[in-house]
Amino acid sequence: MRVSKDELFQLMKTKLAKAGLTEEAADAVSDVLTFADHRGIHSHGAVRVEYYAERIAKGGITNNPEFKFEKTGPSTALLDGDNGVGHQVAKLGMDKAIEMAKENGVAVVGVTNISHSGALGYFVEKAAEQDMVALSMCQSDPMVVPFGGTEPYFGTNPIAFAAPTNDERIITFDMATTVQAWGKVLDARSKGQDIPDTWAVNAKGEPTTNSRDVHALVPVAGPKGYGLMMMVDILSGSLLGLPHGVHVSSMYKDLTAGRQLGQLHVVINPAYFTDVTAFKKQLSTMLDELKEQSPAPGFSEVNFPGERGKQRAEKYDEDGIEIVDDIYDYLVSDNIHFDRYHGKNRFAE
């Protein structure tokens, strides 16, 4: 099924408002989800609406949250989301961080007590659109073995970075710190397919190609990804006074309780370090130089981070965004949710 960006946004907003979100919150979530589907990040778009709707309907997301924003220093702040919907609170935290970085050169804003906030590229791009450089990172539920270990400990803890150029391009690097997202394993499972032996381990901690045998995912690039996911956990969890590692709340176990997740935004104003126009021109030159390289065998061009998502978005603007039929049917139906997620394990099984 192909839908326009506007239709997809409206369908998701209507469903989330029906589940119990305020108009404003439903608007904020739908904007982040539409961004994800539009860029081809389908793992973090409309596919999540039913889960959010169930959590909202069951009280695991506060529908009229009282956000508490507290400046803790000239460049630092905390935003307590009162377990409101993550996308809305994380967006508000980023807006505050941009404002503070404009005034003080740098801002570090810790967003606490939120639910899942979706594709992090959305938030950092908001900063780059205003000539800022930004980083954002967050915790997620434990489903990844530490390097050399056998039990899930950290989440897929993503990191995103964005920077402006002197033209319409934005550099948006946005990745989970695992080799592969859980959604890809689930997809292989549903098709009865094997997976590459680099994605996941079985209960003994051995690499597995059997998608049904997956006990945990593995960090990207072994000890390096393991270190990165630990860094994300510390900066967006312990640093903000929140639970760490394996103690981070599960996505599905209890949909009646708030998840108390954390997210850290760091925004840097280039004007406090260099000439902004020269900086942006240099980044444009960097991208031009990369694009001029002859592609390696098997590649049609060299892409910069975020470029393929933008290319996908342009194609979707012409053809419509591709949405799985079942998801579209759910979005246009009168059902709020089908009671499918509450009480499930970390893999929604």
Residues that bind ligand NAI (CB under 6 A): 41, 43-44, 116-121, 138, 140, 156, 158, 160, 172-176, 181, 303, 305-306, 308-309
Q: Is 90 helix (H, G, I), strand (E, B) or coil?
A: helix
Nearer to ligand NAI, 43 or 269 (CB): 43
Least separation, in Å, of the C-beta of 89 and ligand NAI?
Answer: 12
DSSP 124-174: HHHHHTTT-EEEEEE---S-BPPTT-SS--B----EEEEEE-SSS-EEEEE
Least separation, in Å, of the C-beta of 239 and ligand NAI?
Answer: 17
Least separation, in Å, of the C-beta of 281 and ligand NAI?
Answer: 22
Angle at 119 (CA atoms; ends 328, 86), nearest 5 degrees: 90
The pair of three-digit structure tokens given for residue 82, joined into one six-digit string:
């009162």
Nearer to ligand NAI, 73 or 298 (CB): 298
The pair of three-digit structure tokens given for residue 55, joined into one six-digit string:
């959590």
Which of 38, 42, 44, 116 is catalytic? The answer is: 116
Least separation, in Å, of the C-beta of 228 and ligand NAI?
Answer: 12
Outline where 220-293 has alpha helix (H).
223-236, 276-292
Nearer to ligand NAI, 21 or 220 (CB): 220
116 is catalytic: yes
Nearer to ligand NAI, 43 or 83 (CB): 43
What residues have CB less than 8 Å from 130, skipping those under 6 apart?
98, 102
* Whole-Å CA distances, 59 to 56, 229, 257, 303: 5, 29, 7, 43
Catalytic residues: 116
